[in-house]
Chain A
């Protein structure tokens, strides 16, 4: 009985040893010739990425500054536009010949529904076309 138990124990130990050897065979060892260089490369990569992340934070402040500058510039352009209108209103009105408009066949024109709400861009385009028509009549 004791002999049988001992044999079982030995076979169990041998099977465990075999399993362990099989596991060790699964490993793959790579020779790293320059481990210090490799480690340095890794650390330098981390450093470069961290530096980039740091400059990202700086970039946000630059972006905010740029947005503010654009906002200020838009305000100045609006002021100039207002002053320009004022100047035109102060200067004497000079009658300019009306631009020649070619007659349009009314029936051929299809009317499409017009959006009620006009954007600022539409207003500016209208004003631009008005100024351009005045300019063309001056030529």
Chain B
């Protein structure tokens, strides 16, 4: 079978095809929007994780300083 053979679509079905493609385009735009929102939320989550990590490091440094001043006192 030749791939280049033209295909004729009945006009009422052609309207259906156009409608479906338009709907699909709309859905694809919705999916794109949702993916953008998910990326935003993920970035927010990553920022939170970075904050927690930084907070934990700060607390660790302070506890180390306190521990040092209590366990190895300078005379």
Contact = CB atoms under 8 A, between A and B. Distances in A.
Chain B interface size, under 10 / 10 to 19 / 20 to 34 / 35 or more: 35 or more
A86 B20 contact: yes
B59 A70 contact: no
Interface in A35-88: 38, 41-42, 44-45, 48-49, 51-52, 55, 58-59, 62-63, 65-66, 69-70, 72-73, 76-77, 79-80, 83-84, 86-87
Classify the secondary structure of B's interface with A.
Answer: helix
A105 to B, nearest CB: 32
A33 B74 contact: yes
Given A38-B69, A72-B34, A80-B28, 5 more contacts: A45-B58, A48-B59, A76-B30, A84-B24, A91-B9
Interface of A: 30-34, 38, 41-42, 44-45, 48-49, 51-52, 55, 58-59, 62-63, 65-66, 69-70, 72-73, 76-77, 79-80, 83-84, 86-87, 90-92, 94-97, 138
